[in-house]
Amino acid sequence: MGAYLQGSLFDQADDIGLGSLRGTRRTELGSGAWIDLLPGWLRGADDLFTRLVAEVPWKAERRHMYEQMVDVPRLLAFYGAEDPLPHPVLSEAREALSAYYATELGEPFTTAGLCYYRDGRDSVAWHGDRIGRGGTEDTMVAILSVGAPRDLLLRPRGGGSALRRPLGHGDLLVMGGSCQRTWEHAIPKSSRATGPRISVQFRPSGVA
């Protein structure tokens, strides 16, 4: 009896799932760039965070910078189009996003990049995702965030004031249109006490 009750309570706590994408709200940024935002798209985000921390094969990378090797200030994992994702709800998320944006995007989301910001010292510097086609074509990058909120900043390439969107706890942000080449984004370091956050970035093939 006791064991049964514990099991059923655990199952309830384990309810990880997605809401509807219909509540997504768009902000036009200018220059053909836009962002869509849907706070709390994923329920059970704290559970998913805990599972991803434990189960994803996180990699610490080092990169050549300013003539020396420096630690990339976050942990990373990458899943190609054919790789099984670390939790079934991420496959559901990718399918739901592909269906919702099918007409506008004209192709599915395929790859998933994961970033793990362990605390406020972890960050990503200003950049656009323009290593692939995002540097020359309109495309989309959809980001699902779990764990503690961190500010994502967006600013026009070449200068202008920045927008700030705190993202965590199951929030969805989609960057679309020309966003990767006409705007830049960053997760700045934070000196405030900040809990850990994981972001999952879904991209179409050839966008990086």
Ligand X SMILES: O=C(O)CCC(=O)C(=O)O
**According to the binding rule CB under 6 A, does residue 185 interact with ligand X?**
yes
Sole binder of Fe ion in the list 36, 122, 129, 184 (CB under 5 A): 129
Rounded to a whole number of angstroms, the minimum distance from the CB of residue 143 to ligand X is 5
- Counting other chains too, the contacts that 164-169 makes at CB distance below 8 Å and 24 or more residues apart are 165/35, 165/37, 167/143, 167/197, 167/199, 168/45, 168/197, 169/40, 169/45, 169/46, 169/145
The answer to whether residue 179 forms part of the interface with ligand X (CB under 6 A) is no
Cα dihedral across residues 156, 101, 23, 15: positive or negative:
negative
Choice from 178, 180, 194, 201 touching ligand X (CB under 6 A)? 201
Q: Does 35 bind ligand X (CB under 6 A)?
A: no
Nearer to ligand X, 26 or 127 (CB): 127
Alpha carbon dihedral 36, 40, 43, 45, in 10-degree steps, equals 90
Of residues 126-155, those binding ligand X (CB under 6 A): 129, 143, 152
| Residues making contact with ligand X (CB under 6 A) | 113, 115, 124, 129, 143, 152, 185, 187, 199, 201
